[in-house]
Chains A and B, each alone.
Chain A
Amino acid sequence: MLGEKEGMDINYVAHLARIDLTEEETTLFQGQLEQVLHYVEQLDEIDVSGVEPTAHAFPVYNILRKDEMGQSLGHSAVIANAPAASDGEIRVPKIIDQ
């Protein structure tokens, strides 16, 4: 399964991660990450059939909260943290559906 892995298309992945990379970074990371990916291929050696995946170190269930209203943050603190705001809302460049 892992043998079929193709090389990483770093520009596509950087786009997914919403990070502009310089050409220098692209080349550097490509090389470094391919090394890392090569290293992790050792996991292919292990027979994991029938093994359940671990998502939580200590599995517990139904950790619920009562449906009760609590304290919200002060509006001014929210706006003070925002890089740009108008009329109490957080301002962003025009959203065009991509």
Chain B
Amino acid sequence: MKYEATIGLETHIMQKTASKMFCACEYEYGAAPNTHVCPVCLGYPGALPMMNEKAIELCCKAGLLLDCEINSHSKWDRKNYFYPDMAKNYQITQADEPLCLGGHLEVDVNGELKTFTLERIHQEENAAKNTHVAGASLVDYNRAGTALMEIVSNPCMHSSEDALAYLASLKQIMEYGEISDCNPEKGQIRSDVNVSVRPVGQKELGSKVEIKNMNSFAFIQQAIEYEIDRQTSLLESGGAIVQETRGFDSDRGETFSQRTKENAHDYRYFPEPDLMPVKISTEQVELWRSELPELPVQRRTRYVNELGLPEYDAGVLTADKATSDWFERAMQHTKNAKAASNFVMGEMMRLLSEQDFSISESKVTPEKLAEIIALIDAKTISTGAGKQVFEIIFNEGGEPKKIVEEKGMTQVSDDSALESWADDAIAANPRPVEEYKAGNTASINFLMGQVMKASRGKANPGAVMQVLKKKLDAFC
């Protein structure tokens, strides 16, 4: 019998807000433990939550970016469970009336365009961070109560490739939408993965296994693949899948049983009496929609149609928002999109790959790149010299014009200087001259190299070619 896997993801994304979801504490990654806490996020007696309007806006904007319907009426619920990272021992979340409903994403999976549908997006609060030491655990509540939204997909994926492509696309859209920085290392994007396996042709889904709380895309891939294998072999050997929650052991690359259905949580959801419901008007939704930033797909199309870039360039430039934003800034200072694209995809990416800082921290700013391109376009320097200037600035900083002057990189197009170098080259190299005359036109390249050498790279290659041709053809 053949089996197929069905996968759904619940992805938690930390939103870019200045303060936490229900209190005014700041969140700062890596801050000293328990320094950004208050009675609200510590669950002290008497403290009450107050909702952060920016988080609501970001959650709804995320929904709009993913084609969700924004719920005109949504409310808050308490989800009860005891855990040291949950200060109140209940999480404020949205059970039956979330902010966003439905939605979908179109994703390129290995060249095939697939649509993955969403069930909902709801707003909630984050948990604290536990660390484990010998014989005890330590809790830092700095992260407790930070704004967190949960994007729930339908069980619509069938392989780890689907899931990874979905996540990568989700991450890209959230970054573009300025909803979240989605840094997995900082725990800003984490997923619970539901995997089930059923015989091909069977209508109903197999028993669902949930693998909890993974932040690494590589682990998610391993966990899914391990689970599909495990469940398939279990079914093949006549076994049954138990509905359960499993953890992922990254050292062994395996999942392990954590909690079966029998001792599943009883969350006792009920409406949060401390928070009032949210009503969102269509006017508000339209206002938010008008504020949405351009998504990578839209940018890609614009780069091709308006800037005349090849599809390939547009894809590379928009893959990462920081790169694309940098390119956008460069385009405010130059009209030569292809040259800018070449520099970003070539020099910039090559040099960055050897460093561990991001494009926004590069000493070559978009303005400086535009200057370099202007110098090339004005034939003041050669493209090769331009690349040298780029690298010098990347490593040491500096102003393009100054560097060109100091290093004497200005191109020579002046005919008299070129003619004397050309005459020297022709006189000193009779063999290539003979060959050229005999019809081997490629021999001109050798002579050209000699002229460039003599000029120490400053000669304008186009002009050299013209002068050489003129002289050689005159002999014929």
Contact = CB atoms under 8 A, between A and B. Distances in A.
Interface of A: 16, 18, 55-56, 59-73, 75, 78-79, 86-95, 97-98
A61 B132 contact: no
Given A65-B24, A65-B52, A97-B247, A78 B37 contact: yes
A16 to B, nearest CB: 6
A93 B37 contact: no
B137 A95 contact: yes
Nearest to B58: A67
21 contacts: A56-B273, A61-B279, A62-B279, A64-B52, A64-B53, A65-B50, A65-B51, A69-B19, A72-B38, A78-B34, A88-B33, A89-B138, A90-B139, A90-B141, A91-B136, A91-B138, A92-B138, A93-B136, A95-B83, A95-B130, A97-B259
Interface in B23-80: 23-26, 32-39, 42, 50-56, 75
A63 B139 contact: no
Contacts of B133: 86
Contact of B266 (A16, A69, A93, A95): A16
Contacts of A93: 136-137
A62 B17 CA distance: 18
A55 B274 CA distance: 10
Contacts of A90: 34, 84, 138-141
Contacts of A70: 19, 23-25, 38
A86 to B, nearest CB: 7
A65 B38 CA distance: 16
A72 B56 contact: no
Interface of B: 17-19, 23-26, 32-39, 42, 50-56, 75, 82-84, 130-133, 135-141, 247, 258-259, 263, 266, 268, 271, 273, 275-279
B37 A73 contact: yes
A67 B17 contact: yes
A91 B141 CA distance: 12
Nearest to A97: B258
Nearest to A63: B276
A66 B34 contact: no
Contacts of B38: 70-73
A72 B36 contact: yes
A89 B139 contact: yes
Nearest to A89: B138
Contact of B140 (A59, A68, A73, A89): A89
Nearest to B266: A16
Nearest to A57: B273
B53 A72 contact: no
A98 B137 CA distance: 15
A92 B141 CA distance: 13
A24 to B, nearest CB: 24
A62 B57 CA distance: 12
Nearest to B247: A97
B35 A75 contact: yes
Nearest to A88: B33
A18 to B, nearest CB: 5
Contacts of A64: 50-53, 56
A68 B19 contact: yes
A88 to B, nearest CB: 5
A89 B276 contact: no
B136 A63 contact: no
Contacts of A87: 33, 138
